[in-house]
Amino acid sequence: MTIAVQDFRERMEDKQSVYKTEALGIKQMGCWRNKPYPHILPKDSWSLNLWDGIRKEAQRYFSENEIAWHEQRHNLLSSQIMCVNIFFPLKQHLNVIKPWLIRLFRDAENVVDIDFEYIGPEDKNYFSEIGGRGQNRTSSDVAVTWLDKAKRRNMLLLEFKFTEPNFGECNKQGNPKPERCFSSSKVVASPQTECYRVEDKKRRYWEYILSSDSPFRREVLTTERFCPFRYDFYQLMRNQLLAHCIQSEPKSGFDRVEFGVIYHADNDALLRMSHPFGGERNPLTSWPILLKNPETFHTFKVQEFLKIIEPELPDALISWRTYLKQRYGV
């Protein structure tokens, strides 16, 4: 008899369901699209998804900065919530993450701030998108501001992934000619007529992608027949461009702005692209192929991050570290 092995998401659903009943004392199922699930909280109890040590402060921060919580904030598998649960407590203990930051940037001297759903200084709208921070706008899950030894301000933008199996796709819904997405050479030659995002939505992604100072290697964009951002690279492209735009803006006050991904180590599905690019199936190893400066793209696992900072934790964060182990097993 063959016993089916649970995949990562199934294991996490079970773990969060147990956490909901045993740690939170909630047996009522929550709903998503009118269907009940054991790993989802009732909507009016969504704030219990946050660690109690930051519950009030995090909600106040989001409110004061006009940041939208994601629709699934009551889902115990929410990446946004996990991201806040891990990084928000560190806003009050910034030096804790310095050892980790030094591994990425040898000249890192001080950590200045941590922001969430960051879209740029003064809430810039670089790409003519609708919405605001955390909703229908290219937003960095976490933005770490730091000073180098020369006292220059720098920033690291991070995309955070928990159980999601990919980095999002460019939704073809509403596109009157979806077949255009499968001719990369034509899209690159004339995005104004061949890309729905430009033609109909007036998004400015391609304007930056094809600019003279673009972070992308133009000759690599046509490696595959399909548009390189049609499938697994859509979110990566937008965040990479956000980092580029912030760094390029003289008034931003940042010398360097780089981009990276932090993800749960057990999320194997995230590392298998639906459509390989350049013979690669892992998006985290194939993405740098598109970049002029691949060393500015950073990847690391949540477990690695926590292991590095753990020796630096003050007494005030010991209960937080215990919570993360109980809640997420990290």
**For the chain, which residues score pLDDT lower than 70?**
1-5
Residue 319 included in any domain:
no
Q: Are residues 239 and 171 in the same domain?
A: yes
Write down the pTM of the prediction. Answer: 0.95
Task: Tell me the C-alpha distance between 47 and 313, whole Å.
Answer: 25
> How buried is residue 206: exposed, middle or buried, by Cβ count under 10 Å (0-12/13-18/19+)?
buried
Residue 84 included in any domain:
no
pLDDT at 2: 42
Show the domain range for 154.
94-312
Instruction: Dig out the tokens for 201 from the structure.
Output: 């939505």
pLDDT at 176: 86
- Give the single-character DSSP code of 37: E
Residue 87 included in any domain:
no
Instruction: Dig out the tokens for 238 from the structure.
Output: 């937008």
Q: Are residues 9 and 114 in the same domain?
A: no
Of 30, 47, 78, the residue at which a domain comes to its end is 78
pLDDT at 1: 41
Residue 80 amino acid letter:
Q
Q: Are residues 208 and 293 in the same domain?
A: yes
pLDDT at 123: 82
pLDDT at 122: 84
Q: Are residues 67 and 162 in the same domain?
A: no
Q: Are residues 7 and 127 in the same domain?
A: no
Task: Domain count for the chain, please give it.
Answer: 2
Q: Are residues 44 and 193 in the same domain?
A: no
